[in-house]
Amino acid sequence: MKNGMIISLKASAVVLAVCLAATGCAKLPEKLVSPMLKIEPALVDNREMYRLTLNTGLQNENNSTALLDVKGSVYFKAAGSKSPRVMTLPFVVPVILPFDTGLIDIEKTFAENEIMPLVKLLGSDREKLQSEKLLERTFMDDSTIGFEINGYAKKDIIDLLKERLNEKNQ
């Protein structure tokens, strides 16, 4: 019984070590860097639409791991952990080198019924947006804007740079 317990503890330790080695310990970005959001009325095919522009970034704080093909989405929601998301914008960042910021630039056009929940969330409304022609937010509360990463690959920076050098030399 005691031997069995020792063996199962050893097996668990080995499995844990293998899992840790497989997952590695790359640190993922935890917040969006200086998000800037613009919503402006636009005419598309003679239809009244709204153009949304979001510029932000994700910082790679790892010192030797590059993040590749980072796929995820930026979302907007009212304050409160259980509030539903009013809009989700998917993004892909091809590469974020160590100590660098991968830029997320999203430009998308929406119909009125799609954009208005976000406009209201940001404290404006249709009339105000039509009269001012622009809704801009540069300092956004972390409870209003968030992001999630759905997939990424990681690579040691030295291997990545060696590959790039070899590609260039070939």
Q: Which residues bind another protein (CB under 8 A)?
A: 63-64, 66, 95, 97-100, 157-158, 160-162, 164-165, 168-169
Exposure on the CB side of residue 113, measured as CA atoms within 13 A: 0
Distance in angstroms between the alpha carbons of the first and the last residue of the chain? 61
Question: Toward another protein, which CB reaches closer, 63 or 150?
Answer: 63
Least Cβ distance, residue 136 to another protein (angstroms) = 29
Pick between residue 33 and residue 97 the one whose CB is nearest to another protein.
97
Shortest CB 5 distance to another protein, Å: 32
Instruction: State which residue, 37 or 96, has the beta carbon closest to another protein.
Output: 96
CA distance 43 to 39: 13
Smallest gap from residue 104 Cβ to another protein (A): 17
List of E strands, the chain: 32-44, 47-59, 65-77, 85-96, 101-110, 135-137, 145-156
The residue among 37 and 93 lying less far from another protein, judged by its C-beta, is 93
Judged by beta carbon, residue 44 or residue 158, the one nearer another protein is 158
Give the nearest distance from C-beta 164 to another protein in angstroms: 6
47-59 and 101-110: which strand pairing?
A: antiparallel
Q: Report the SS3 class of residue 139.
A: coil
Residue 63: phi and psi, rounded to 5, are: -90, -20
Smallest gap, in angstroms, from Cβ of residue 38 to another protein? 27
